[in-house]
Amino acid sequence: MERESRVDEPRYTISVVARLVDLHPQTLRNYEEMGLVVPQRSPGNFRLYTERDVQRLRKIVRLTNDLGVNLAGVEVILNLTERVEALQAEVKALQAQLAALNVEVAAGHGVDDAEET
């Protein structure tokens, strides 16, 4: 969990991110306007990007530069990717619940017994 919190910690300014992903700061502002990336804001209203934002921007650059996908296509791909990841997490959670129920049944505590307690 700690690793995940570091990925979501706002730490990079727009100029640093622009250098990291080799994009002009105005391009980053355009991507923000389009909703492709949404940096957090500092108390002084400076854009602050997380490591997750940088990863997302690198994916956008790969899609546009390497694969020739237009920005509308990028948006669709990113949305579908997020949906697949959410569904995968849901499947994993359901599998864990099923495994726990199987352990209960194997231990002789049927589902009906568990509901009565």
Total length of the chain: 117
**Closest among 64, 3, 11 to 36, alpha carbons compared:** 64
What are the residue ranges in the chain where pLDDT is below 50?
none
Q: What local confidence, expressed as pLDDT, does residue 111 receive?
A: 53
- The upper half-sphere exposure of residue 44, i.e. CA atoms within 13 Å in the direction of its Cβ, equals 3
Q: How far is CA 45 from the centre of its chain?
A: 23
Mean pLDDT of the chain: 91
Q: Any idea what DSSP says for residue 83?
A: H
| Predicted pLDDT at 112 | 58
pLDDT in tens, 58-69: 999 999 999 999
**Per-domain residue ranges for the chain?**
1-69, 70-117
DSSP characters for 75-110? HHHHHHHHHHHHHHHHHHHHHHHHHHHHHHHHTT--
Express each pLDDT in 67-77 by its tens digit: 999 999 999 99
CATH topology of domain 1-69: Multidrug-efflux Transporter Regulator; Chain: A; Domain 2 (1.10.1660)
